[in-house]
Amino acid sequence: MHRYMGEGLKLGSRIALIANDALGNFAVSSPVAQVLRTMYQPSVLDGFTGSRVMEIATECSWFDEVVSVYGDGPRVVAERILAREPYDLVVNIENAAWAKSLVPLLAGEDGGAIGPAANRDGRGDLDYGNSPEGRLWADPKWTRDSLRIDFPFLSTGHISEIVCRCCYWDGRIPAYNLPKHDPGREIPDVLISATASLPDKLWPVDRWIDLMNLIAADGRTIGLLGAKPKAGSEFWRGVDDETRIVEESPVEDLRGEFTLPQVVGALDQAQLVVTLDNGILHFACSTDTPVVGLFRNGIHRLWAPPVPNLKVVEPGVGGHVSDLSLERVWDGIKNFQIQLA
């Protein structure tokens, strides 16, 4: 295995793409996969992700096959990986130790690696190299305001562009493109999502409830998206907040009602989405529906998709999501000047 430095691949190469199965991380893989298809024209492009997104990953047209590497245990996954023919190029967009360990297993003796990877002897990480792209991979502060000054080949600071440029792509960055199914039922005017992977992403539940009452008073119906409460509590923070929102405000509980492609379809049919920085936000940004997203300061530079239908609400330097006032979020909603259907 070696560090790929943009030297080119033979036509018809085999490529593997490793992506986390958190919904937002997986959404980021869609522009990357589209770039790999266009740039290298591989005979095979396989996706390696996890059980949480398999129902949508297996419908992504850019993957020839999708293999689960999260959720089944290391021994099972190792057997699954070692039974496969090595790949000419392995692209890893996940920094966790397990993902880095998979890279040399997938690349074998001769394959190239893009992104975080364990080295050949397993005693450390594979060096990124001294190209501009390699230095960008190695930079520990992707959220800083000066990133585009230091790396002028970036037109935005969004993570999907960073990864695509680090794959040596100099063209337009594709938009999110996720499979979309009809949700099979009428969708409320406004969809919300109030859980996230980290506690510092959360917005106080009392403000959520006040916001729901404001939206309802404006004549709109509201639905809550998310995982079923028991499943949600395993991976996300804020499940208790969701329960209070449903019990104490005029919100329809839609948690666990849809498959992931149906979630994309529901978001596409809504008039407005209000959400924390989570997978629902990224799924919503794959549609044209107006989205109000609550972000941590600085993180918004890396994780807020650069799309015109997203209004970022963030607390400013030194602030927290929990500091955001009801008025700030309500102003974000009014920014879209949405008319009721």
Identify whether 121 is part of a domain. yes
Total domains in the chain come to: 2
Give phi and psi for 11, each to the nearest 5: -60, 140
pLDDT at 285: 98
Tokens 């990224």 -> residue:
282
pLDDT digits (tens, 9 = 90+) for 256-269: 999 999 999 999 99
User: Residue 315: which CATH number?
Assistant: 3.40.50.2000
Residues 228, 151 share a domain: no
Q: What is the pLDDT of residue 231?
A: 56
> What predicted TM-score, i.e. pTM, was given to this entire model?
0.94
> What is the span of the domain harbouring residue 220?
190-334
166, 182, 200 - which closes a domain? 166
Distance CA 86, CA 89 (A): 9
In a domain, 182, yes or no: no
Residue that terminates a domain, selected from 100, 134, 166: 166
134 with 241, same domain: the answer is: no
Residues 229 and 81 in one domain: no
Residues 7 and 129 in one domain: yes
User: What are the E-state strand segments in the chain?
Assistant: 2-3, 14-18, 44-50, 65-70, 89-92, 112-114, 190-193, 222-224, 252-253, 272-276, 291-294, 310-313
Instruction: Please check whether residue 58 is in contact with residue 64, taking contact to mean a CB–CB distance below 8 angstroms.
Output: no
Residue 178, domain member (yes or no)? no
Q: What is the pLDDT of residue 158?
A: 98
Residue 91: which of 152, 49, 154, 50 has the closest Cα?
A: 49
Inter-residue contact 242 to 224 (CB < 8 Å): yes
Which stretches in the chain have pLDDT values below 70? 230-238, 337-341
Which pLDDT does position 340 carry in this prediction? 44
Same-domain pairing of 144 and 277: no
